[in-house]
Amino acid sequence: MENASKALLMAGGVLLGILILSLAVYLFSNFGGASSRIHDNIEENQTAQFNSQFTKYVGNENVTIHDVVTMANLATENNKYYEFPKRGSIASGRDQYITVLLDGIQIEYGYGTPQSQITQRYNNLLTEQVDAITNASSELKKYNVQVETSDITKRVYIVRCTGI
């Protein structure tokens, strides 16, 4: 009898150990999935916040050259951050490079372009628009903005600004 009771105690201990181990595995996998979902939500929010810097101009009828230069500057800062050189053609959407087109002409820059050159180019764009006010009409030219978002990165990679 004594051996049987010891055997029952040992079997109960083993079952209790298996139960505790199973609970630990369940909690680990459950918390791991929650962590992954939280990480995905944070990444989606960051992407949406980044895209909103460009998409807020879509459908807005009062977009001027100042807004276009602001978007080009944001794109340039992004391209410098990822160390992309200026592209000779439109980005593919497979990476983080952002192209800004003003009436079909690329106006963003990338890594390695001196800041003085970028500033001079944007100042020239602004000056051209302001000079057009004094010569022809009393308002800055308005632009229609369209963006394209990559299916891969879910980020804006092309901003098209066309004069209205």
Which pLDDT tens digit goes with each residue over 55-73?
A: 999 999 899 999 999 999 9
How far from 100 is each of 9, 105, 136, 149, CA to CA, in Å? 74, 8, 26, 13
Q: How long is the chain?
A: 164
What is the model's pTM? 0.75
Can you give the residue ranges of every domain in the chain?
1-55, 58-163
β-strands 99-102, 105-106 pairing: antiparallel
Q: Rounded to an integer, what distance in angstroms lies between the CA atom of residue 134 and that of residue 164?
A: 19
Per-residue pLDDT at 136? 63
In this structure, the number of other CB atoms found within 10 A of the CB of residue 139 comes to 10
Q: In this predicted structure, what is the pLDDT of residue 124?
A: 92
The 10s digit of each residue's pLDDT in 81-111 is 988 888 777 766 677 899 999 999 999 998 8
Cα–Cα distance, 46 to 148 (Å, whole number) = 17
Share of the chain above pLDDT 90, in %: 58
Band of pLDDT at residue 1, cut at 50, 70 and 90: low
